Structure 1
Amino acid sequence: MSEHRSTRIIFPPRGVFFNTLKARVDAYFHEREIKQTGNAFLYFKTLFSYALLIGSYLTLVFGVESWWAGMLAAFGVVQGFVMVAFNVMHDGAHGSYSRKSWPNWLAGASMDFIGSSQMLWKQKHNMLHHTYTNIEGKDDDIAIGSLMRLSPEQPLKPWHRFQHWYAPVLYSLLTLYLAFYSDWQKIITNKIGDTPLQPRKGWEIPYFLFAKCAYVGYALVLPMLFHPVWKVLLFFVGIHLLFGLTLSLVFQLAHTVEGASFPTPAADSGKMENEWAVHQVKTTADFAPTNKLASFYMGGLNFQVEHHLFHKISHVHYPEIRRIVKETCEEFSVPYLCFPSVRSAIAAHFRFLKSMGKPALSQ
């Protein structure tokens, strides 16, 4: 266990860098008289994502008569899941989908619809990951037990030298792990890692149970009424493996890549060297910023620097504010990491995994 796990983390007060950057971004929206939350393009993406998912699901359950048609429909289900997660759920859970609370909650509830939990995601992702990015013992996104080493602060195990080979296998298990183990463990232990869960409203646990049952109902029980159990299980697992691999890989490209920083707090005080905003830039990477298809598909998650600095701004605005962020970082000599393509970011991630398996980085 890292010596930093139980340390209270303290960031220095906000400095001139983020004050300047925020003023410039706010001015961008004010001058154009546009809101920072979702717009017509986001609502189109929502309809497109759900139409793809529901249409593919109905085809898979009620309309296929051959293996190739089933596999094609299952692939559509996966892409629907991915687009709902990236384009709808993510903005909703961050409160950037709408200026009103109920559309945000409804969009965030897509997480429950696809098998996991918005309630747990908000604390795990919004609070812990977005506050303590790449800090060992606090950022649950880099905590995969001893199976992988995603930080120089984590102990090196003999099998980590092969992690760049077996990582895709573990990544593919993500959504099955969330739906059937991790979410339940967090509810039962009342913790995310070493951090206690926030107090919950009286309806949240019954809703959690209802959502889990509803997911099993439409994803497993209903299809089993029309198809052999073994075929349903085969397609169910196959869909999750591809879904989990896609989600994991995209999220990993933002923080566990060559060039990303893994700062540690001072052992005696828990103080961080940099203010929160500088910390976010140094621990995060953009990729494929000019690839419109990637941006459409990933819900702007390829603009992770902008997202971590301004998570209350909808992803549909990130391509425009990226110029402001990049120029301000250059002005204040804050390192701004960006990979030109998806392929280069994937390569940087797997080189990072390989380097984390080497003894030289275990100190």
Structure 2
Amino acid sequence: MSSAQPSRIVFPPRGAFFETLKQRTEQYFQEAGLRQTGNWRLYLKTLVSVGLMLGSYVSLVWWVEHWWSALLAAFLLVQGFVLVAFNVMHDGAHGSYSRKRWVNFLAGSAMDLLGSSQTLWKQKHNLLHHTYTNIDGKDDDIAIGSLMRLSPSQPWRPWHRLQHWYAPVLYSMLSLYLLAFSDFHKIITNRIGNTQMQPRAAWELPWFLAAKLFYFGYALVIPMLFHPVWQVLLCFVGVHLLFGLTLSLVFQLAHTVQGAHFPLPDPQSGKLPAEWAELQVRTTADFAPRSWLATFYMGGLNFQVEHHLFHKISHIHYPALRRIVQKTCEEFSVPYLCFPSVRAALRAHFGFLRSMGQRPQAAV
């Protein structure tokens, strides 16, 4: 955390806004006779996602005979990875996939299967990002060093003028960065950014190392037994560049867009300007709420406002919850940011990057 920020951040007491939201949400589930976790629709999505991932992997390693078939299989493998990450892992890691903890653990372990770590994700994403959304120095999702400027409070550098052009290049490196460097760095330093990690169970380190070995084994070693090393490496990097770009863009569209808020705690007391729930709405955006394809593909992450308010509820319920959240925000005069399409959200994101790349007037 920068020296200008307090050592402790304090939220004001939760008020009527969130209490009303919770009451209406609970009433909705009671009247509809629904569980807040996943149902047959989520389990069907899991079968489709995992089936696509496994089928394309088998095809890529053992069945392809031509460059174009390898390219197609690699592309489908990325789509399988994306569907598993958004639709299975994300709900599992949040504990919203099932009422059973062991099922949630298995679903969340898809993060390990994809090369990263559920343990680290829970601390980085569930605890820090969902608590301190868009707060510079606490939310690691907007901390990219000096490479990019993703918050008005971050220092400006001359190369930020071009960040809306080179951002996709950096975004594409996300999954490679996580699996090859960032995860190991967090485990060794026991820190996420400037924040000390919470104590971990004794089994988590062996699990972390075993999962990494398993991943590199199936992603690199096994394919190298059947194909030239250079082809395997080329495919491996290509798959991750597309995977990383997809993951990064979807998550960036929810928070680093024009209209999103970046709260600043009081320098002395560390108190934030509004209660947690209100800040979740102000720092987050929905997009493409009427697109069935976007909702299916992104695992409901286009309903980020609802997700941040109720991350313990499965994403399959977010379209219904949106009506409740929108109505309550209107009643309490809380700005509710929603872009009508993915294209509109992309414009808002790259417009935000362009504005953050301009030299601040105060620095002139």
- Deviations along 1:103-126, one digit per CA (max 9) or x if unpaired, are 000000000000000000000000
- Deviations along 1:158-177, one digit per CA (max 9) or x if unpaired, are 00000000000000000000
Structure 2 CA distance, aligned partners of 1:6 and 1:62?
A: 56
Q: How does 1:96-175 map to 2 (within 5 A)?
A: 96-175=96-175
CA contact (8 A) 1:329 1:335 kept: yes
Aligned to 1:283: 283
CA contact (8 A) 2:6 2:265 kept: no
Provide the identity percentage: 71
Aligned to 2:311: 311
Aligned to 1:243: 243
Structure 2 CA distance, aligned partners of 1:293 and 1:200?
A: 38
SS of the equivalent of 1:359 reads: coil
SS of the equivalent of 2:360 reads: helix
Deviation at 1:252, TM superposition (A): 0.0
Q: How does 1:341-360 map to 2 (within 5 A)?
A: 341-360=341-360
Structure 2 CA distance, aligned partners of 1:200 and 1:310?
A: 25
Structure 2 CA distance, aligned partners of 1:232 and 1:81?
A: 17
Q: How does 1:159-198 map to 2 (within 5 A)?
A: 159-198=159-198
Q: How does 1:1-363 map to 2 (within 5 A)?
A: 2-5=2-5, 7-360=7-360
The two structures have a TM-score, normalised by structure 2, of 0.99
SS of the equivalent of 2:286 reads: strand
Deviation at 1:88, TM superposition (A): 0.2
SS of the equivalent of 1:250 reads: helix
Deviation at 1:359, TM superposition (A): 1.3
Structure 1 CA distance, aligned partners of 2:296 and 2:230?
A: 35
CA contact (8 A) 1:2 1:154 kept: no
**The 10-residue stretch of structure 1 (192-201 or 274-283) with the greater mean CA deviation from structure 2:** 192-201
Structure 2 CA distance, aligned partners of 1:356 and 1:33?
A: 46
SS of the equivalent of 1:162 reads: helix
Deviation at 1:6, TM superposition (A): 5.1
CA contact (8 A) 1:258 1:351 kept: yes
Deviation at 1:7, TM superposition (A): 2.4
Deviation at 1:146, TM superposition (A): 0.3
SS of the equivalent of 1:338 reads: strand
The two structures have a TM-score, normalised by structure 1, of 0.99
- Deviations along 1:238-275, one digit per CA (max 9) or x if unpaired, are 00000000000000000000000001000000000100
- Deviations along 1:87-108, one digit per CA (max 9) or x if unpaired, are 0000000000011100000000
Q: What letter matches 2:13 in structure 1? A: P
Deviation at 1:198, TM superposition (A): 1.1
Alpha carbon RMSD of aligned pairs, Å? 0.9
Structure 1 CA distance, aligned partners of 2:258 and 2:311?
A: 23
Deviation at 1:360, TM superposition (A): 2.9
CA contact (8 A) 1:155 1:362 kept: no
CA contact (8 A) 1:282 1:337 kept: yes
